[in-house]
Amino acid sequence: MQVAIHAGAAFTDEGRVLASLTKNASTLAANGVTVFGPRRYRRVFKPAFDKFEAASNDLNSQQNPDETLPVGANTPRVLYSCGSFVGETVSALKEGHLYPLAGRRMAFLEQNFRDHQIELFMGLRNPGSFIPKLLMSLPEQERADAIRNTDLSCLSWIGMIEDIRDLAPGVQITLWGNEDTPFIWGDIIRALGDLSEDTPLVDEHDLLLSLLDETGQKEVLELSHQDAEPSEASLHENMARIFENHAKPGEIEEELDLPGWSIEVVDAFTELYEQDLERLGSIPGVRVLKP
């Protein structure tokens, strides 16, 4: 069985992935995919992770959560979606790293699902906006401790992914930049379900439409209803052009409230983040979805 884990990251899809999977439940079921949301994580995986971490990460000491997998000929792929699989938001910035629990948790799942193929899916976000949002979501004392004990300028996604590859080398990883999601939403949902690239999806362009003015929405709908199917590259290029010309400013601009977090800081992180996405795509066992 293929076991796919959609694990956030925090402040990326904001529940839209699970909503889209639900809308496309019949298509997924027809292709042998069974989907579970955060409730299954809270009831089964979180207690298992807690026991594992309390036992000093002893891979052999815990009850096997393999019993949670559905059985039957019609479930060749099971998909769990919850942003906490690689760590709860409160623990997403500790030990000087982003999601320091990610590697150990994926090793735990690889050990306990050793007869199955584990796949991890994550949308990443520019640390220049991710870090201040994460810090401002923490209680004041924890935020102060994190800032005091962490060199924020050194934070990137590379460490988390390398940790997963080192501790759970059999886990296949699919990543994408959250900034690209309006243009590749269908690609993300198809990848999660292991669907062919020509599988039609319900409301595939809803996210992009929500960010556009009326003229842009009309252009996207006209483009998506053309009789002649454009190539994937051409479709992405046209969607990006429409977005550039018709994005609603209020939908794409974001206030970052962390004191001292300037536009210069964001620009520096942005440059490094773009380099990191290129580097991540070259790591064996890692796939990066792009427009």
pLDDT digits (tens, 9 = 90+) for 36-61: 999 999 999 999 999 888 887 777 65
HSE value, Cβ hemisphere, 13 Å, CA-based, for 46: 14
Residue 254 phi, psi (nearest 5): -140, 135
What is the pLDDT, as a whole number, of residue 165? 98
What is the pLDDT, as a whole number, of residue 228? 61
What is the pLDDT, as a whole number, of residue 250? 67
In this prediction the pTM is: 0.91
What is the pLDDT, as a whole number, of residue 80? 95
pLDDT digits (tens, 9 = 90+) for 76-127: 999 999 999 999 999 999 888 999 999 999 999 999 888 899 999 999 999 9
* Of the options 3.40.630, 3.40.50, 1.10.10, 1.20.1080, the CATH number for the domain spanning 2-200+255-289: 3.40.50
The domain limits of the chain are 2-200+255-289
Low-confidence ranges of the chain (pLDDT < 70): 60-68, 70-74, 227-230, 250-253
What is the pLDDT, as a whole number, of residue 188? 97
What is the pLDDT, as a whole number, of residue 234? 80
Amino acid sitting at position 248: K
- Give me the DSSP letters along the chain: -EEEEE---TTSSTTHHHHHHHHTHHHHHHTTEEEE-HHHIIIIIHHHHHHHHHTTT-TTSS--GGGGS--STT-SEEEEE-TTTT--GGGSEETTEESTTHHHHHHHHHHHTTTSEEEEEEEE--HHHHHHHHHHHS-HHHHHHHHHH--GGG--SHHHHHHHHHH-TT-EEEEEEGGGHHHHHHHHHHHHHT--TT---TTTTHHHHHTB-HHHHHHHHHHHT-SSPPPHHHHHHHHHHHHHHHB-HHHH-----STT--HHHHHHHHHHHHHHHHHHTTSTTEEEE--
What is the pLDDT, as a whole number, of residue 19? 95
Q: How far apart are CA 218 and CA 209, in angstroms?
A: 9
